[in-house]
A and B are shown apart, each in its own frame.
Chain A
Amino acid sequence: MRSAGGHRDRGFFKSIDWRLVICYLLLVFIGWVNIYASVHSSDPASIFDWTCRSGKQAVWMGTAFIIAIVVLLMNPRIYESLAVPIYLFVGALLVAVIFLGIDVKGSSSWFEFGPVRFQPAEISKISTSLMLAAYMSQQGYRISRMRNFIVTALIILIPMAIIVLQSETGSALVYVGFIFMLYREGLSGWLIFLAGMAILSFILTLTASPFVAILVIVGIASLCICLYSDKLKWWFFICVPAIVLMAFVPSILAGFAEEGLKLKPLHILLGVIGLAIPPVIYWAYKERNTFSHLAIVSTIAGILLVFSADFIFNDVLQDHQRKRIEVLLGMKEDPAGVGYNVRQSKIAIGSGGMFGKGYLNGTQTTYGFVPEQSTDFIFCTIGEEWGFAGSAAVILLYVFLIWRIIRDAEQSREAFTRIYGYCVACCIFMHLFINIGMTIGLMPVIGIPLPLISYGGSSLWGFTALIFIFIALYRNEKKYF
């Protein structure tokens, strides 16, 4: 023990990051009063009424606090040593729930024990974070080494895949957030850039056309190559005019189409790209410029993605997922009422104005127009009753929480604590962005809860354990300063 070397234990209370704890408590409390508001009707019951969701949430909160205390009291070393068994056990639970779980709204991801329902996917975030931290904090780990990278990817992808099999695509999406942690740990930033480009070209293909999408890809790829090789002039004098010229091709061709010309703009564009690539490859080879090679490969991959986007969209995605994306991108005006949730949610939030209608005075949320209003759409209640001021404050509170976790993670001396901390920050961030993004129409409707605020025992317990394990790990280090 290092404490034997003269360091004094600063005591249980002093070593805890109280700002994090207070931030946690604030969010849980905000959640509770807003759950009460969301189930509030003209015939009000007490906030503690067990038959109401607010009453149940009070019980979940009580148990969550017990979990938090237990987590703090345990020796944080066990999280590191038990990471592998916990990861395997939760993995087994995830598989088991597919066969043994009960069916809730078309997804089989819940266990039911009497009155209590429990979703293993909620603790899978913890087990995956612990596993990542344990693996990546090993001596000699380097993310740029292929073997290390593949194992890391598998640790993330395996639970993700099982969760997709449970038809809980939303929960699986959260794992994408780990990419930010990987970036902090040395993953090339280009990977995030490429992922972003993939999403952009996917959206462009669906909303505009493959032609536009490919043009944008080529434009950005050529910009990157020129920037990297310090030839920005080339880009402005060769690439930009070429791209602008190509942009006029469709309208020029349309003029000839009447005369029976059957050439499509896309064909011309692909032809030009096909002609342009060999000289660039030759030049890159001569200059020994690996970056350009990779950029060209990525460009080709991007063009292939554009052509497969249609297939992915129509054949891989499930019906309801496709509809949600269509509504989000405005491709279809509310097909078959899928936009209902989002529209109701926007009306509720929008009607809040600057300072809101006041606590328990919301009409949209309390009359039951917003679906799932105490779980996934709880932010509507906040938006309606507390207005822009209140909802922005809640977002800032989350930003503070995430920032504080990152700060603590960076201050810690052990890689395990740092990596775990980043995992926690990523999870919370993804939930925050997807959930709030969904209620205000920035994201498609993806049913995941708002951390600590949404109604539900499973989710609250999961996030409580997730956050408090980090607080415990951090405390453990601080103790010896």
Chain B
Amino acid sequence: MKLNRQNKLIIGLCIAALILIAKLFSIQIIEDKYKMDAENNSMVYSTIYPTRGIIHDRNGNILVGNKVAYDLMVTPKEVEAFDTLALSRVLEVPVEFIKEKMDEYRQKSRRIGYQSVVMIKQMPPEKYMRFAEVAYQFPGFRGQARSIREYPFNAGGNLLGYVSEVDAAFMEKHPDEYKSGDYAGKTGIEAAREKELRGEKGYNIWLRNSRNKIEQRYADGAFDKDAVPGDNITTTIDAKLQNYGQMLMNNKVGSLIAIEPSTGEILTMVSSPGIDVDMLADIGQHYGEISSNPYKPMFNRTVQASYPPGSVFKLVNGLIGLQEGVFNPSTLYGCKMGYHFGKNKLGCHAHKSPINFEESIMMSCNAYYCYVFRDILENKKYGSIDEAMDKWNEYVKSFGFGQKLGSDFPSELGGFIPDSKYYNKHYRKGGWKATTVISLSIGQGEIGCTPLHLANLCATIANRGHYYIPHIIKDSENIRIDDKYRERQYTMVDTTHFPKVIGGMYRAVNSGYGSGGTASVAAVEGLDICGKTGTAQNPHGHDHSVFICFAPKDDPKIAVAAYVENGGFGATWAAPIASLLTEMYLNGEISKDRKALEDRIIKGDLMDRVKVKK
């Protein structure tokens, strides 16, 4: 044979093949690391489930911890005849339950094969110990330890979220990541940080002999893999404040959110009615009960409900008006029980007239903002109302409205801010003018926003013109939050215009009863609370009660938004709730003279007012 290039290549091919075959020979014939003796002809993997990461609040308190529970596993192929009655007595379940289950396994025996199936989920350790003592009488039954969630604080089910076994749809969405029997966070923080919290599964490898008995560890555990526990995370939540917020919102439908303005960290996030944490641990048991509740406790109103903001929105229109120069803080407008245009009128309540900008906030005058808003839309600067409308839309969106804020909390809703396109479609081009959409001036009409948007507005004003994207996770040992949460988001309104608005908000709270200020109920001595009431009209029943406030005025530590469905005037429910939360956060207690107010709020029950489909 000539040693030409063709033959050299063929020799190379043969050498390569020989290398493969030699390696095969080594792992299949020589090494017995990979072999099992003839008796033990198959390996059984038992999963070691990792413990989920612990969720801390901002002060290091544990919001969500872990405790051990046991699943009772059955390997039907290994079960021998046993005393059903004795087993039922130990497990405290009816005899019929065991019989039914065993019948079911017999029917499915082909599908189950040598696998183990769960018979009873999450037995508490005491019950499992009783079983473990007599387990030798029941071959084929064993307990598998699993850590389940434990909740030292009642921080609300919607905020924390629940963990449950993955279903087919979930596995489809996350291929290769989850297997049936795995658990995953489905809502709230558990879902937001599932990746970090879940940890990594491990396994033990056992050998099964030809009579299907598990006898020993494979290779003395050399190939086993330990489970890696999930990362702990730290949230921005203040557990004590969250708990207090839950109390205040008890028996009311609505939301309560508090943000630290200087960071955008969410201190409290209550959606009421919520899911009790006792149900959270075993959501499967209570799922029917929760989902049939007419008040929809699973619905997280703080980020998913879209409401009209009501008078609170006057602050935004006022700021836009100042920036656009259509009026100045000393501009006086008269109010004759409302704003009259043609034969129509947008009503207002009785207050002194005429008034300037600060007073318009303090007394929440409707007419004032009709003038301002009309001037914004009819600004000569812009060629058409379409253009002015779109500019207004741009301004409003710079406050975070009309879009998802981009918080790290899952399933946030964007809300809606109308623009010229919307009205052109709705009426036709040229078929609408400022007075057609005048209700936007007082935060009614087509505007939709979430309570989180309102809290963010409050933080923006407290910061004099910028906000940080509200978020719920803090930096901790293993987790660094996205840099976007550290960036200031500026509105299109200059910082210089904010002090006037804040002045108005301060006077609304601190002018004393009889002055015309709408939120005197929220005043707390020494805290310099600034606030704005809102009463959002509701065609379906009682108006919604809205209030935003921050404090202290000159060094804001907390910004709060309260939205109470069917609560009536802003001052009736929302203002006391928000101010009590503020007081608790800043003072750590409620002053004596406000104890009566606190008592009224906590005991107050508005559930009957809320119309639900039964």
Closest residue of chain B to A391 (Cβ to Cβ) is B24
Among A330-366, those with CB < 8 Å from B are: 337, 340, 343, 346-347, 349-354, 357, 363-364
CB–CB A363/B28 < 8 A: no
B21, B35, B110, B111: the one contacting A353 at CB < 8 Å is: B35
* Interface window among A75-83, A305-313, A392-400: A392-400
Q: Which A residues touch B41, using CB under 8 A?
A: 357, 363
Q: How many A-B residue pairs have CB under 8 A?
A: 99
A352, A357, A369: the one contacting B45 at CB < 8 Å is: A369
Bound together, the chains give a CA A86 to CA B401 distance in angstroms of 53
Among A211-229, those with CB < 8 Å from B are: none
* Interface window among A3-11, A246-254, A436-444, A472-480: A436-444
Q: Which B residues touch A139, using CB under 8 A?
A: none
CB–CB B6/A41 < 8 A: no
Q: Which B residues touch A371, using CB under 8 A?
A: 176
CB–CB B23/A442 < 8 A: yes
CB–CB B33/A433 < 8 A: no
* Interface 0/1 of A402-419, CB less than 8 Å to B: 110010001000000000
Chain A CB within 8 A of B9 CB: yes
Chain B CB within 8 A of A302 CB: no
Q: Which B residues touch A43, using CB under 8 A?
A: 110-111, 113
Chain A CB within 8 A of B14 CB: yes
CB–CB B29/A399 < 8 A: no
Q: How far is the CB of B50 from chain A (nearest CB, A)?
A: 12
* Interface 0/1 of A104-118, CB less than 8 Å to B: 010000000000000
Chain A CB within 8 A of B19 CB: yes
Chain B CB within 8 A of A236 CB: no
Among B32-47, those with CB < 8 Å from A are: 33-36, 41-43, 45
CB–CB A42/B113 < 8 A: yes
Q: Which A residues touch B9, using CB under 8 A?
A: 180, 183-184, 406
Q: How far is the CB of A391 from chain B (nearest CB, A)?
A: 6
CB–CB A349/B28 < 8 A: yes
Q: Which A residues touch B200, using CB under 8 A?
A: 337
Known: A388-B29, A406-B10, A440-B20. A347 touches B223 (CB 8 A): yes
CB–CB B24/A406 < 8 A: no
Chain B CB within 8 A of A470 CB: no
Q: Which A residues touch B225, using CB under 8 A?
A: 337, 340
CB–CB B20/A433 < 8 A: yes
Chain B CB within 8 A of A31 CB: no
Q: How far is the CB of A357 from chain B (nearest CB, A)?
A: 8
Bound together, the chains give a CA A363 to CA B45 distance in angstroms of 11
Bound together, the chains give a CA A353 to CA B32 distance in angstroms of 9
CB–CB B19/A442 < 8 A: yes
Chain A CB within 8 A of B287 CB: no
Chain A CB within 8 A of B31 CB: yes
CB–CB A388/B25 < 8 A: yes
Bound together, the chains give a CA A288 to CA B148 distance in angstroms of 79
Identify the B interface with A (CB < 8 A): 5-6, 9-10, 12-14, 16-17, 19-21, 23-25, 27-29, 31, 33-36, 41-43, 45, 110-114, 176, 200, 223, 225
Identify the A interface with B (CB < 8 A): 41-43, 105, 180, 183-184, 337, 340, 343, 346-347, 349-354, 357, 363-364, 367, 369, 371, 383, 387-388, 391-392, 395-396, 398-399, 402-403, 406, 410, 429, 433, 436-437, 440-442
The 7 closest A-B pairs by CB, nearest first: A350-B34, A42-B113, A363-B42, A388-B28, A350-B27, A43-B111, A399-B17
User: Can you name 19 A-B pairs with beta carbons within 8 Å?
Assistant: A41-B113, A43-B110, A43-B113, A180-B9, A180-B12, A184-B6, A337-B225, A347-B43, A347-B223, A350-B27, A350-B28, A350-B33, A354-B29, A387-B28, A395-B17, A395-B21, A403-B10, A406-B9, A429-B13
Known: A429-B16, A440-B27. 15 other contacts (CB 8 A): A42-B111, A43-B113, A183-B9, A340-B225, A346-B27, A346-B34, A349-B34, A350-B31, A350-B35, A395-B17, A399-B14, A402-B13, A406-B10, A410-B6, A433-B20
